[in-house]
Structure 1
Amino acid sequence: MSHSFATERGGGTAPCRGRDRRERVAWVPPGLLPAVAAALLTGACGNPGSGESGPSADARMWEVRFSHVLSTGSEFHLMAERFRDLTFERTDGRFRVVIYPSGQLGGERVAFEQIQVGAVHMAITGTPVLSGWVPETQVFDLPFLFETRDQGLAAMNGPAGDWWRDLLLERTGVRSLGFLDYGFRHVYNRRRPVETPGDLAGLKLRVLQNATYLAAYSALGVQATPMNYGEVYSALQQGVIDGGEANAIGFVSSRLHEVAKFYSFTSITYNPITLLVNEPFYRGLPAEIRETVDRSAAEALAYQSEVARRMEAEAIEEMREAGVEISRPDPAPFAAAVSRNVRDALANGLPDGEALIARLVAEAERAASEGR
């Protein structure tokens, strides 16, 4: 496929007969997840199909399993609830979203694998995780690619994001319905404030399991340690790691500010987060239900962006009240220490990598100029 930022988008499992409820939050013991996934595949939703046989579209109902890794107090969950409520109302209760927060069905990698096989219908996932399936995704992980979150979101909602969504669908059979407004991942830790690149040296930080993230933080002297998000709190408590990187809302909503008292707005990486749906399931929906899903997703994503800006300010205030020391270092020394080497390594590791990066940088500049 060409590496141009073109626009072209594509869809299931058969609809399932929903039970009389709007949401179920269930804890699943990790050891039972394989059995649960197998049961979900053969359970209430029936066998995959075109969506055209069986009861008429007006009579059918769907119970949709929706997974994400953050807590019920996060902007992820608020967005999922808004999507659930909109689709429920607009389909007269026939499209019923069941939300599984806090990684109950597994972390982001597991959730994506479950979407691919149809065990989960929808999920919220960060694009850095998806680079294992679509290596070109790593271009979005370049350190200091974007200067502001508005610039990053505008680029993802433009031709660059459309190109990536098409590529994801072609490679994996999973559709992206759009992007959340997560912003940047910033460094937090339990040992010291981070004001200069040298302050990162020797810190053992939980970093996303992504080649570009690992290379960037390693270049700054960090002991970059991939780890399931659900294990981070206890690892901090026990001193297994010194810290990690997350946006302010995730840092507070996951209660990491209770065990890590230093938070620095390093802005090393912008983190696109996407709303995903199993393509065969999506394509198996009647046209009017698909239209409702698309419209509700767009409105829920816009709502999430609005809520996220407010929640970030509230999270910063909550940090201060909890005694977290907040710093806002100059990004220039960090960028000088990491950007060139990581960019060269990424360009050499991707087909047409240099040209692809150049196009993305141009798209970032376009988004920045339009935002001025």
Structure 2
Amino acid sequence: MFRKLMLLTTALVTLGTSMAAAETKVLKYTHYQPGRPDQPKHAAALAFEKCVEDTTDGSIDVQIFPAGQLGNATTALEGLRLGTLEMAVVHDGGISSVYRPFDVFALPYIFPDHETAYKVLDGAFGKEFADAMREETGIRLLAYADNGIRHFTNSKHPIKTPGDMKGLKMRVQPAPVFISLVESLGASASAIDWAELPAALAQGTVDGQENGVTNIMAASLYQSQKYATLDGHVYSLHAYLIGDTFYEGLTDVEKKAIDSCVVQARDIHRDMTRAQDLSAQKVLTEAGMEVYVPTAEEIAAFRDIAQPAVQKQLEGSIGAEWVSKLLKAAAGAQANSQ
């Protein structure tokens, strides 16, 4: 009798353990910055992990894979669509490879400051854009965060006017819109993946690149780039993405946890990146770079050349609708802040 009771007890414990394991949903989460808490993406990921697991009492197990451990952005986005990956924080250029309208955010010199960008992204335009992306790709865009305001750097000479770009070989993201941006200013553009960029700069394959200070510091690009021009040509984005099939398979409580915790992660990500953006001159100077801050008139000279060229390219590649809507939303946000 005792033996039967022991066997029954063991079976019940095993069954209970198996049921608990079956109920736990694994959320694999990848991003592309080093796995250190001083990196905005990773600090945000750690906060998201704790928030989700605490809020759901462990029914979702968040597993973080930093520094592109699960493959490049294209691989991650395909994983979200196929259901082999649950969540990723991906930069704008990578997203454009599966949803071309994301290129619209590369329209240069459209956001004068962070506050204007947040109003547009967190408002009606941002929601409409996310809904359209989900419908076409099966990837749900949960939140927009900063990838840093993009600036030009190079190893040859200071860039103060569009004419200073002529003759430079510049690395850009693998997205046609960034090629149009650089070439409109007279430089030649080379599309090089992020992981290959430090080597390309060190070896002189390209003379320069364009990125935010967070990425310049994270990849130690200052080691091969002497000159930086803080023109702020593009407000670059990271997007918090989740496979829609996975999301729809969650309980209402779990969905609410994801939705609320991603806002917490987004705000940490934004705050850390914005702080570096606002201290770009100091940070890059201390890293040994020669930093130039253009005047409003000099930035206008860049805008007058680059914006019409990129707008024309965008209207040809993604159509005029999203371009028009973004310009209208940005103008409205600026008017409301004045």
Tell me if both proteins adopt one fold, taking TM over 0.5 as the criterion. yes
Aligned to 2:4: none
Aligned to 2:91: 126
Q: Determine helix, strand or coil for the equivalent of 2:23.
A: coil
TM-score by length of 2: 0.87
Q: Deviations over 1:159-196 (max 9, x none)?
A: 11111101110111000111113342111122222111
Unaligned 5+ runs, structure 1: 1-53
TM-superposed CA distance for 1:331, in Å, is 0.9
Aligned to 1:71: 34
* Cα distance in 1 between the residues matched to 2:174 and 2:281: 26
TM-superposed CA distance for 1:346, in Å, is 2.3
Find the partner of 1:143 among 84, 108, 117.
Answer: 108
Q: Determine helix, strand or coil for the equivalent of 1:182.
A: strand
Larger fraction in helix: 2
Aligned to 1:208: 173
Q: Deviations over 1:29-64 (max 9, x none)?
A: xxxxxxxxxxxxxxxxxxxxxxxxx948x9721222
Task: Check the 8 A contact 2:141/2:241 in 1, yes or no.
Answer: yes
* Cα distance in 2 between the residues matched to 1:305 and 1:258: 26
Aligned to 1:236: 201
Q: Deviations over 1:72-91 (max 9, x none)?
A: 34211111111111112222
Find the partner of 2:151 among 186, 192, 195.
Answer: 186
Task: Check the 8 A contact 1:102/1:230 in 2, yes or no.
Answer: no
Aligned to 1:103: 68
Larger radius of gyration: 2
Aligned to 2:12: none
Question: RMSD of aligned C-alpha atoms?
Answer: 2.0
Task: Check the 8 A contact 2:56/2:253 in 1, yes or no.
Answer: no
Moved more, 85-94 or 239-248: 85-94
Q: Determine helix, strand or coil for the equivalent of 1:289.
A: helix
Pair 1:288–1:59, CA change in 2 (3 A): farther
* Cα distance in 1 between the residues matched to 2:248 and 2:322: 31
Q: Determine helix, strand or coil for the equivalent of 1:272.
A: strand
TM-superposed CA distance for 1:295, in Å, is 0.7
Task: Check the 8 A contact 1:252/1:315 in 2, yes or no.
Answer: no
> Which residue identity is paired with 1:334?
F
Aligned to 2:236: 271
Find the partner of 2:310 among 311, 333, 342.
Answer: 342
Q: Deviations over 1:317-337 (max 9, x none)?
A: 332222111111231111122
Task: Check the 8 A contact 1:153/1:181 in 2, yes or no.
Answer: no
> Which residue identity is paired with 1:68?
H
* Cα distance in 2 between the residues matched to 1:229 and 1:133: 17
Find the partner of 2:128 among 158, 163, 178.
Answer: 163
TM-superposed CA distance for 1:315, in Å, is 5.6
* Cα distance in 2 between the residues matched to 1:358 and 1:64: 37
Unaligned 5+ runs, structure 2: 1-17
* Cα distance in 2 between the residues matched to 1:180 and 1:188: 23
**Deviating 4+ runs (over 4 angstroms):** 313-316
Task: Check the 8 A contact 1:149/1:183 in 2, yes or no.
Answer: no
Task: Check the 8 A contact 1:168/1:175 in 2, yes or no.
Answer: yes
Moved more, 134-143 or 167-176: 134-143
Is 1:332 the counterpart of 2:300 in the alignment? yes
Q: Determine helix, strand or coil for the equivalent of 1:181.
A: strand
* Cα distance in 1 between the residues matched to 2:86 and 2:157: 42
Aligned to 2:78: 113
How many residues align? The count is 316
- The percentage of aligned residue pairs carrying the same residue is 27
Q: Determine helix, strand or coil for the equivalent of 2:67.
A: coil
Find the partner of 1:367 among 316, 322, 333.
Answer: 333
Q: Determine helix, strand or coil for the equivalent of 1:167.
A: helix
